[in-house]
Amino acid sequence: MFPSVRVQRLPQGGLTLALGLCLSLCLSCSAGAAQSGLAYLGEELRALQADPFANPGLLWVDRGTALWQAAPAPGVPACASCHGAPESLRAVIPTLPRWNPATERLENLEGLIRQCQSARQHQPPAPYESEALLALTTRLAHGARGLPLSGAVAQEAAPALARGEAFFRERRGQLGLSCADCHERYAGARLRGDRVSEGMINGFPIYRLTWQTLGSRHRMFRWCNEAVRAEPYPFGAEPYLELELFLRHRGAGLPLETPAVRR
Amino acid sequence: MGTLSLPVRLALPAEAPAGGVVSLRLLLQHPMETGYRIGEDGARIPRHILTRLRVSYGDRVIADLTLRPAIAANPYFALSFIADETGPVTLEVEDDRGATLTETRMLTVVP
């Protein structure tokens, strides 16, 4: 999984273990194919994620199944009334966020659900990180588990994709770090007791031990922005949608793992 | 069956051989807020924890736990016992704000 420590002999004959390690780490992250955050977890967390009973994210899957069936108010259709089983949308999930030609904007899973809640169910849309929205997004993404993230981006979304990549590579915050600094250049290296992942988004919403709960992609972006001491954008903000689009494109081919367990 | 006011996942086989070991697994959704943390507004976040978990089998109590703040959110419990009679397995959980869970499953002993 991780590159093994390479011991190199320098011309002067000194053994530099540290340099060898650094070098092999950097080579592996630039050359290798995209790897899910799963690959950067220890044995125990990988087992927890794979456990079909004890993965804590499954609590939200259960709740999402119930919400999917239930009409939010009398005389209003339930999600299931129009869509049938949540799995009927599984082909759409790996293509999100995507370009909506009608609105000429990007839309992600949270946005689509919120839009349906207000337009079809005539309800106030569930806010980001509410239990209801997390349960629904988790249930839908869970139904698409195993499908590869799509790398396809509509022609009209090309500028948004470019802005997403620019966001990823731009240094920000008091620490002056870009997403790419940690998740590309130093992916696989140690940060305190942790191993830096590639920042892939194929497991979201994730059950994160740090949060002791489930969180969306945008919560993770906000968390990361705060960690480099940058002002985070609001949930659902355009820069985060563009970043999400870029990260889907960047992680194309990775299987969806929702609900993933992460540290 | 009982009142379910706490989201829960419960795994218990419906049948077990006489004298066989049965495992019960339980995953509860609960914040398990310790009461020691300070929120963003500077105020203490009030304690909100599960306080009790009781499992009975037939007319015997096989586990009775007093739960404390030092338990992570969404706790997972697993216990095992020997199936020696056909009877109900009852789970009772309560938290410090009056939420309760009572769930009964039949365990049938097969020869």
Has residue B56 got a pLDDT over 60? yes
Instruction: Let me know whether A42 and A166 are in one domain.
Output: yes
Dihedral sign (CA A203, A209, A215, A216): negative
* Mean local confidence (pLDDT), A174-201: 94
Q: Using one digit for the tens of pLDDT, what is the confidence trace for B8-37?
A: 899 999 999 999 999 999 999 999 999 999
Dihedral sign (CA B22, B15, B107, A69): positive
> Which of B4, B5, B6, B9 to probe the A interface (max A CBs under 10 A)?
B9
Torsion angle of the four alpha carbons A158, A140, A42, A181, in this order, in degrees rounded to the nearest 10 = 20
Instruction: Let me know whether A45 and A154 are in one domain.
Output: yes
The residue with greater pLDDT, A70 or A26, is A70
Contact status of A132 with chain B (Cβ, < 8 Å)? no
- At A173, the pLDDT band (50, 70, 90 cuts) reads very high
Has residue A6 got a pLDDT over 90? no
Domain assignment of residue B24, given as a range: 8-110
Report the pLDDT value the prediction gives residue A193, as an integer from 0 to 100: 84
Q: How many distinct structural domains can be found in chain A? A: 3
- What single-letter amino acid sits at A138? T
Residues 6-35 in B contacting A (C-alpha not used; CB under 8 Å)? 7, 9, 11, 25, 27, 29, 31-32
Looking up tokens 């995507």, which residue turns up? A98
C-alpha distances (whole Å) from A61 to each of A51, A56, A149, A250, B29 are 14, 9, 20, 27, 12
Size of interface A-B (CB pairs under 8 A): 30
Instruction: Let me know whether A63 and A173 are in one domain.
Output: no
Domain assignment of residue A206, given as a range: 37-53+149-262
Contact B9 A58 (CB under 8 A): yes
Instruction: Let me know whether A5 and A120 are in one domain.
Output: no
- What single-letter amino acid sits at A91? A
Q: Using one digit for the tens of pLDDT, what is the confidence trace for A211-230?
A: 999 999 999 999 999 999 99
